[in-house]
C-alpha cells in the first residue's frame, strides 16, 4: 500500500509530535508499505525523494520550529497524479487543513492525529478565555476526517464527550533497546558534579510555559532543603531556559540531546520530575520509566495509562501532592531503585512493532471502508 503522512514538525526538530510521526513512518516502512511525508522545508534540508516539501514559516515563541503554509492546490495536483491509498494528518496547522481538504476532495481516506492540547495551551499562555474556542476549532478539524487517532482511553472519552466523532485509540510504545537502566553513565554524573550515590532530579522536555515548570522548581527546592547536595539537571531547550538559568544558577542545563546521548542522560538521573498539566500523552514519561527512573507526574496521559502510583513512582492529582511525592521519593533511595526496576520491567511489553501493526490495521480499515462505500454507491 501507499500511505502519506502530513506533518508540520519532523526531525531533526525535537518534540513529541515529530518523534512520534517519525516512529509511525518507520513502522509502516518496516511492514513493507511505501510511505511519503509532506512537511515544511527546514534549514539545510536534505530530504529524500519520499518527501514532498512545502513552504513554512517560523513558529512564534518556538525558535527552530516551523508551521506549514496552505498548500491545498499543490497537494491536489500531486495526489491527482499519484494518489496515496490513505493519508494521515498529524498536525492541525494550515498545512494540515490543506491536506484534509485535498484528501476529501479526491476521495482519499484520511485519519488525523490528536497530538496537542491547544485548548490547554490557551490557559498556560494567559488566554484561558479562548479554551473553548480552541476546542471548537480542533473539533471542526478532526470531525472532517474519517477517524481521529488518540493515544489513551482517557483522551478518547474526553473527545467523545466533547462532540468529536470516530475517535480511535492508537497506543504508544517506547524503544527499550534505546532507553534502559544499562545506559546509566557515571562519567556523565561526574560532569554534573554528582557521585554515583548522590541524588539527581531530572527534567527532559520543552522548557516553556505550558510545561508548568515552576512546580518542578518548587519541588526541587523542597528536596534541596533536606538534601543540600542534590542536583537538578535539565535536558531540552525553549523560551524559558534563559530565565530559569538566570534565576537558578545551580541548575545544570544540558541542552537538547538525541539518540544514545538522550538515553544516557535519562538513565543517569535518579528522579524524573514531569509537572506538565497539558500533555496529550507525554512520551518522556515512558522513556524515563524504561530508563529505570522513578517518575512523579500528574495522573493523566501516559502516567494514567502506564504509571502505577507507589509502584513506578507517583501519579498525583494536585500541586501539593506533586511536591510531597517528590520530597518523599528523594529521601528514599532504596524505594527509588525498586520503583525504577519495576518501571523498566513494565515498559518491556510496549513494543514499537505492535504500534506499527495497529497503525497499519487502522489505515487499512479506512481504505476498506471507503472502498465498500464506493462500491455501494456505484
How far, in Å, are 169, 238, 255, 266, 272 from residue 241 at the CA level? 34, 6, 9, 19, 18
Alpha helices in 4-115 (DSSP H): 16-30, 72-81, 94-106
Q: Which CATH number fits domain 181-347: 3.40.50.300, 3.40.50.2300, 3.40.50.970, 3.40.50.2000?
A: 3.40.50.2000
Mention every residue, 6+ apart, whose C-beta is less than 8 A from residue 121: 134, 210, 278
Angstrom distance (rounded) from CA 318 to CA 321:
5
| Per-residue pLDDT tens over the stretch 247-256 | 999 999 999 9
| Per-residue pLDDT tens over the stretch 45-60 | 767 668 999 998 877 7
Angstrom distance (rounded) from CA 45 to CA 60:
21
| Per-residue pLDDT tens over the stretch 155-208 | 999 999 999 999 999 999 999 999 999 999 999 999 999 999 999 999 999 999
How large is the average pLDDT for residues 134-140?
A: 91
- Number of H-type helices and E-type strands within the chain: 15, 15
Angstrom distance (rounded) from CA 182 to CA 260:
12
Reported confidence tier of residue 124, pLDDT bands at 50, 70, 90: low
Asked if the domains at 2-173+351-377 and 181-347 fall in one CATH topology, the answer is yes
In this structure, CATH architecture of domain 2-173+351-377: 3-Layer(aba) Sandwich (3.40)
- Residue ranges per structural domain of the chain: 2-173+351-377, 181-347
Indicate yes or no: pTM above 0.95: no
Asked if residues 307 and 295 have their Cβ atoms less than 8 Å apart, the reply is: yes
Amino acid at each position: 500500500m501507499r500511505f502519506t503522512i502530513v506533518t508540520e514538525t519532523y526531525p531533526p526538530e525535537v518534540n513529541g509530535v515529530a518523534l512520534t510521526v517519525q516512529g509511525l513512518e518507520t513502522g509502516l516502512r518496516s511492514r513493507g508499505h511505501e510511505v511519503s511525508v509532506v512537511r515544511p522545508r527546514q534549514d539545510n534540508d536534505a530530504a529524500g525523494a519520499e518527501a514532498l516539501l512545502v513552504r513554512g514559516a517560523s513558529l512564534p515563541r518556538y525558535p527552530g520550529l516551523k508551521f506549514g503554509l496552505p498548500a491545498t492546490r499543490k497537494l491536489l495536483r500531486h495526489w491527482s497524479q499519484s494518489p496515496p491509498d490513505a493519508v494521515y494528518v498529524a498536525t492541525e496547522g494550515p498545512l494540515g487543513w490543506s491536506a484534509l481538504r485535498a484528501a476529501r476532495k479526491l476521495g482519499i481516506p484520511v485519519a488525523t492525529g490528536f497530538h496537542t492540547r491547544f485548548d490547554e495551551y490557551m490557559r498556560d499562555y494567559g488566554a484561558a478565555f479562548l479554551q473553548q474556542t480552541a476546542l471548537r476549532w480542533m473539533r471542526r478539524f478532526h470531525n472532517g476526517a474519517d477517524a481521529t487517532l488518540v493515544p489513551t482511553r482517557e483522551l478518547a472519552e474526553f473527545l467523545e464527550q466533547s462532540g468529536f466523532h470516530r475517535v480511535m485509540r492508537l497506543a504508544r510504545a517506547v524503544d527499550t533497546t534505546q532507553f534502559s537502566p544499562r545506559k546509566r553513565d557515571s562519567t556523565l554524573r561526574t560532569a554534573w558534579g554528582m557521585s554515583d550515590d548522590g541524588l539527581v532530579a531530572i527534567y527532559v522536555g520543552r522548557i516553556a510555559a505550558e510545561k508548568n515548570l515552576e512546580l518542578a522548581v518548587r519541588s526541587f527546592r523542597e528536596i534541596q532543603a533536606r538534601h543540600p547536595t542534590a542536583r537538578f539537571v535539565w535536558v531540552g531547550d525553549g523560551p524559558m531556559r534563559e530565565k530559569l538559568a538566570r534565576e537558578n544558577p545551580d541548575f545544570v542545563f544540558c541542552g537538547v540531546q538525541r539518540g544514545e546521548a538522550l538515553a544516557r542522560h535519562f538513565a543517569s538521573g535518579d528522579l524524573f520530575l514531569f509537572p506538565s498539566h497539558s500533555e496529550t500523552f507525554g512520551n518522556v514519561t515512558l522513556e524515563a520509566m524504561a530508563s529505570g527512573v522513578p517518575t512523579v507526574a500528574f495522573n493523566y496521559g501516559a502516567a494514567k495509562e502506564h504509571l502505577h502510583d507507589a509502584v513506578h513512582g507517583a501519579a498525583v492529582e494536585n500541586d501539593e501532592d506533586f511536591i510531597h511525592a517528590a520530597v518523599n521519593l528523594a529521601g528514599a533511595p532504596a524505594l527509588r531503585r525498586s520503583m525504577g526496576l519495576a518501571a523498566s520491567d513494565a515498559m518491556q511489553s510496549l513494543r514499537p512493532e505492535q504500534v506499527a501493526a495497529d497503525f497499519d490495521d487502522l489505515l487499512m480499515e479506512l481504505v476498506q471502508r471507503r472502498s465498500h462505500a464506493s462500491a455501494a454507491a456505484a
